[in-house]
Amino acid sequence: MSSLNIAAGSKREADSSVMESAAGAPISHKSRPMVTGSSVIGMRCKDGVILACDTLASYGKMARFRQLSRLHRVTDSCIIGATGEYSDFQQIKLLLDKMTLRQECHDDGHSLSAKYVCWSAAVCASEVLARGV
């Protein structure tokens, strides 16, 4: 079955990377998303914002996970949504939750603004993508 073939590239590509490794050159791995999602939509209304997403995540070409939420409540006034590689979204959620917990531990009555959370999410996303976390 072709759906069980997880290895990327041809046999010749695999052989050449082994040869490069034996010669001391670094092995180059292509980054391929494994669990991806498809749709998130947001609309600004008179009294607030509406966010919606589907709950399906695909593993390769197979519709594997049917109940994954790609919306996450960061603060009482901020919710983020994400599409693409689900593990990237999980890492961004983890980083934002740590940041929110740190702010709540101050117990000074202030919370993170939506603008700051948006900026932080962008910084977290760029770190996750740069490091490949």
- Cα–Cα distance, 114 to 42 (Å, whole number): 15
Least confident among 1-5, 13-17, 71-75: 1-5
Which pair of structure tokens corresponds to residue 62?
């197979």
| pTM for the predicted model, two decimal places | 0.64
Chain-wide mean pLDDT for the chain?
74
The answer as to CATH 3.60.20.10 being correct for domain 32-131 is yes
Domain locations in the chain as residue ranges = 32-131
- Cα–Cα distance, 27 to 17 (Å, whole number): 6
Residue 27: pLDDT band by 50, 70, 90 thresholds?
Answer: very low
